[in-house]
Amino acid sequence: MKHITKGGEPPALHKWRMDQKTSPQNLVYDAIPGATLETVRDALLKEQGHICAYSMMRIATRSGGHVEHLLAQSKTRGTELSVRYDNMVYCYPGHEAPRCEFGAHKKDGMEFAPGEMISPLDPSCEARFAFKRDGSVEAANPSDEAANKTLSNLNLDCRALRRARKEAIDSLPIFSSTQERLSAKRAETLARQLLQRDIDGRFRAFAVALAQVAQKYAKRQAAKEAAMASR
């Protein structure tokens, strides 16, 4: 999970919400005009760097994802929260894609008690999950019940995501069989870069997983370099 810093509400959505103040019954997600909803989708994609709020899968274009409500529509329907921008994120896959076994589709319509779901808006979210070289993920702290429940509720350690994450991890230069082995310092630099946006403002798919694996490699390499230097 990648931490999301919410930007300002798109002006078109704000105007539409204000226009409905005298008709609160119209404040439902399905009533948002199509053109306004497109500006919302574009804003969500931009602020998330084109990766899914839950799985960190790549969402290359608007059609590759869908608007997800952090607090489910089943719980907010008929209230302003169903059309509030700060309750929306963008998630994989798109509306035309088959249902998948993880992320927003796994969560779809479910309601959770406090402590059962970590939000990508929580600044601590990245540190609460530990990604491994094989693409698997677990709670960084085994006693962190919210992290454990989030992994289960979103099925973030399913086979499909493990496989996709491992493929991305395998592509890192630290695991290349044709390149010179990275030093600890270069691996540290790589780990920082993996958490940064590219020139188009996009994150790499599974950015946090890649950065964590690179950081672990850097620590191991630093220990090896220290051992060699002490001989």
pLDDT tens-digit readout, 42-82: 999 999 999 999 999 999 999 999 999 988 766 656 667 78
Residues in the chain, pLDDT under 50: none
Q: How far is CA 24 from CA 12, 18, 39, 71, 200, in A?
A: 17, 10, 22, 19, 39
What is the pLDDT, as a whole number, of residue 182?
A: 86
> What are the strands, taking DSSP E only, across the chain?
66-69, 88-91, 129-131, 137-139
User: Which among 125, 161, 165 has a CA at the least distance from the CA of 146?
Assistant: 125
Q: Is 89 helix (H, G, I), strand (E, B) or coil?
A: strand
CA–CA dist 43, 23 (Å, integer): 26
pTM, two decimals, is 0.91
